Amino acid sequence: MVMSFQPFNVIEPWVFETITPSQFITFTMPNPLNHRRLLHALVIRVAVLDSPIATADDEVPLIAAMIVPNHRETDWNFCTESGHLQLLYDSHNVSRLILIGNNPPPNPEPSIYIRPQVTGPLEKQRLENELKPLLMALHPKGLLLVNFVVEDVELEGNRDRSKMLRRRLRFKRMPNLIQSQVPLIHVIGDDEATTQVDLESLRKIVNAKFDVDTTVLVHPYLPPMVAGLFLIASHLNERIQQGFTPRALCLGIGGGVLLSFLKTQLGFDVIGVEADKVVLTAATKHFGFNKSGSIRLIVGDAIEVIQNFPSQKIKGDIDGSKVNNDVLDTKFDVAMVDLDSNEAQNGISAPPPEFVKKPVFKAARSLLDDHGVLIINVVPLNELFYTTLVKDLKDTFIRFME
């Protein structure tokens, strides 16, 4: 059987930007990998199949990739659309399945398949890193390849050594960095009673339930950010006395703890901006974020959003509701920036380097009331990064504090 595939150079990149039910695309391309045990051919074949079942608007599409085993490139499962579809159906809830394999010769000779050795953790990590650029190009636009971990932990108090329960959010790209954390509360039912507060004891209770407490801030850098509002306390009091609700723009959501606190505890009208729906899903599902739907959300790149306010077309929040442009025309009393770099290999950096530019700061300043304040969580990448940030802020704003 002679198989022909569409060359890579005639495929428009935009065809991969959205999940299109039953869309099937194959192409060949020069092998960009340096992994000769699994993908040794000079040319590789890539096949992309979208599920015939459309993803709900409030769900994040699950994208999966598979490497075709050596000498099985011409198997029905891996070289036909119907076989590819069978693999997709066998993969639970996958919206797009990507197959990557060696491109077979025009008339391959029959060969005996030998199962390869199990890939070790280091080799697996190297392969994932090499495949990431290709998979990012084949990933739907607006969704980042973010794997997150939500963990419930037990901490010991510093003074009385009492037990404290926390729920934490971590991203795989920076596993040692706690992105967000909130106090965890055991919900006691009518037929439940316990004097123990440790996780092990609580989980022994049948149908034990936990809830998060968003009325307090326990993540170390959040209280100082909120304390920055003291600089405009008199302005906020005056606004409230005049019958106006203070307004906050939050760039970066994380677990949504800061936004929830501003809304429920300080009475702010809050608009949040987040580029990744996966993050929004984690915040909503695991951190009790925006249960009432009262916080308006914009799904998009924070820099693009502030530079295009208010003329941009808002995509709406995760519930699909729209943000009215007349609301966006009103100035904000505070803009809080809680963004970090997506480039894990460069180390932890907040805000990302592309945010530390005068045009971006000027765009942020234009969104603020005359007495408004810009509050940024800063984790400098290096000394030059910090000095540049300070200089550009001083050049843009009348008053600067650190």
Q: What is the pLDDT of residues 98-138, one digit of tens each?
A: 999 998 877 666 666 666 666 677 777 788 878 888 888 88
Closest residue by Cα to residue 21 from 52, 49, 48: 52
- How high is the pLDDT of residue 199? 56
pLDDT > 70 in the chain, percent? 76
Mean pLDDT to the nearest integer, 376-402: 90
Supply angle C-alpha 167, 209, 264, rounded to 5.
60
More confident residue, 23 or 143: 23
Pairing of strands 247-251, 368-376: unpaired
pLDDT digits (tens, 9 = 90+) for 177-208: 788 899 888 776 654 544 445 556 655 555 56
Pairing of strands 163-171, 174-187: antiparallel
Q: Which residues contact 69 (CB under 8 A, 6 or more apart)?
A: 101, 113, 115, 116
More confident residue, 347 or 256: 256
Whether residue 13 has pLDDT greater than 50:
yes
pLDDT digits (tens, 9 = 90+) for 254-271: 899 999 999 999 999 999
Return the minimum-mean-pLDDT range out of 235-244, 313-322, 367-376. 313-322
- Tell me how far apart the alpha carbons of residues 127 and 35 are, in angstroms, rounded to a whole number: 7
Closest residue by Cα to residue 50 from 75, 26, 79: 26
- How high is the pLDDT of residue 364? 94
Alpha carbon separation from 345 to 125, 205, 341 (Å, rounded): 14, 43, 10
**At what angle are helices 358-366 and 383-396 packed, to 10 degrees?**
40
- How high is the pLDDT of residue 9? 46
What is the residue-averaged pLDDT of the chain? 80
Backbone angles phi and psi of 169, in degrees to 5: -120, 125
How many CA within 13 A on the CB side of residue 143?
A: 20
CB 31 within 8 A of CB 12: no
Closest residue by Cα to residue 250 from 321, 305, 316, 173: 305
CB 306 within 8 A of CB 363: yes
pLDDT > 90 in the chain, percent? 33
- How high is the pLDDT of residue 272? 93
- How high is the pLDDT of residue 309? 73
Name the residue with tokens 């939500």. 150
Query: Which pLDDT band, with edges at 50, 70 and 90, does 52 fall under?
Result: confident
Alpha carbon separation from 107 to 4, 102, 110, 238 (Å, rounded): 11, 14, 9, 80
- How high is the pLDDT of residue 171? 77
Query: Residue type at 181?
Result: Q
Whether residue 12 has pLDDT greater than 50:
yes
- Tell me how far apart the alpha carbons of residues 247 and 76 are, in angstroms, rounded to a whole number: 58
- How high is the pLDDT of residue 200? 61
C-alpha distance across the termini of the chain, in Å:
69
- How high is the pLDDT of residue 319? 41
Longest Cα–Cα distance of the chain, Å, equals 83
- How high is the pLDDT of residue 278? 78
Mean pLDDT to the nearest integer, 283-295: 84
- Tell me how far apart the alpha carbons of residues 136 and 231 are, in angstroms, rounded to a whole number: 42
- How high is the pLDDT of residue 320? 38
* The two structure tokens encoding residue 56: 């709900």
Backbone angles phi and psi of 122, in degrees to 5: -70, -45
User: CA 177: distance to chain centroid?
Assistant: 14
- Tell me how far apart the alpha carbons of residues 253 and 285 are, in angstroms, rounded to a whole number: 14
Query: Residue type at 250?
Result: C
pLDDT digits (tens, 9 = 90+) for 212-247: 888 999 999 999 999 999 999 999 999 999 999 999
- Tell me how far apart the alpha carbons of residues 171 and 160 are, in angstroms, rounded to a whole number: 32
Query: Which pLDDT band, with edges at 50, 70 and 90, does 160 fall under?
Result: low
Mean pLDDT to the nearest integer, 276-293: 83
Query: Which pLDDT band, with edges at 50, 70 and 90, does 7 fall under?
Result: very low
* The two structure tokens encoding residue 236: 């906020």
- Tell me how far apart the alpha carbons of residues 211 and 220 are, in angstroms, rounded to a whole number: 21
- How high is the pLDDT of residue 326? 45
Backbone angles phi and psi of 344, in degrees to 5: -65, -30
* The two structure tokens encoding residue 127: 């392969």
At 220, is the secondary structure helix, strand, or coil? coil
